[in-house]
Amino acid sequence: MGYVKTAMLMAAMTALFMGVGYLIGGSGGAVIALVVAGAMNLFSYWNSDKAVLRMHNARLVTERDAPDYVGMIREMTTRAGMPMPACYVIDTDQPNAFATGRNPENAAVAATTGLLRRLSREEVAGVMAHELAHVRNRDTLIMTVTATFAGAISMLANFALFFGGNRDRQGGLIGTLALMILAPFAAALVQMAISRAREYEADRGGAEICGQPLWLASALGKIDAFARGIEMPAAERNPATAHMFIINPLHGQGADKLFSTHPNTANRIAALQELAAAGGGGPAARAAAPRPAGLRESRIPRTGRDAPQRGPWP
């Protein structure tokens, strides 16, 4: 259902783009806007991974530097039949993680030191399996295409103001201003809805990769609680990257809202619990779920303001 929902939302974005292009009456303008937006997003698609990793001061680690963390990723990717991504660590106390890269062969996963120190080995495995599911599902590509359409719609709306649009269009200046405001607004809503749909699908895929839906469910609840009490300065400086993290790293997250890039955490946990009750992951996958040596159980504090527990991480 996650893929069906994503396809329907992508169709809605395409229809919105075509509708705006028709309203401003310039098929040539529509093509120009799409080409420009596509070029910008193609550049981002090839270079955004490096830019995002730099924004968050992520450092590359190897199995020699972080044998438990990197070994865990290697074990899960081997079992899932995926290429091994580059592994990064972000020095910040808030537990969180993200994946980036234009395809599975050129992917990277990043975990914060807060995640590695505060969560148990099973919860870390659940989180990183979620990020590997993003890589396997090529969600970076999906969100790049979505951003292309959203950017093109915004450009078309600006063309309506500067070039007057279709002379036969009703509404005059007021109609043009309404188009400028409402079209990008609608595109943003669809873009955020697609982001939420991909998060649900990555939760399901992560449960399959690690074999235990409840590991991820437990991690989501703890990360959400910590994120409310621990600030991530780099994310606050670069809010456009917030949608990449497994839990919104910005303060003030609320319910499953139209303007949220992430689903409500309680809804995600409930879905994973239902998946576990239905035998999600399968007995073979659960039996093979990673339990790397050396990763100790953390005593998880109840609030994000408690001191972190040290772990075997660089």
What pairs with residue 89 in β-bridges?
59, 111
In the chain, the N- to C-terminal Cα span, in Å, equals: 40
Residue in this structure with the two tokens 């040290």, named with its chain if needed? 310
Sheet of strand 59-61, all strands in order from the earlier edge strand to the far edge:
59-61, 86-90, 107-112, 97-101
Q: Which two tokens stand for residue 8?
A: 């329907």
Q: Which amino acid is at 18?
A: M
Where helices occur in 110-171 by DSSP H, the ranges are 113-118, 121-136, 139-163
What pairs with residue 108 in β-bridges?
86, 100
Contacts of 212 (CB under 8 A, 6+ apart): 122, 125, 126, 276, 281, 286, 289
Q: Are residues 137 and 205 in contact, defined by beta-carbon separation less than 8 angstroms? A: yes
Q: Would you call 131 a catalytic residue per the annotation?
A: yes
Q: Are residues 184 and 147 in contact, defined by beta-carbon separation less than 8 angstroms? A: no
Cα three-residue angle 205-300-99, rounded to 5 degrees: 30
Q: Which of 122, 131, 199, 201 is catalytic?
A: 131
Annotated catalytic residues are: 131
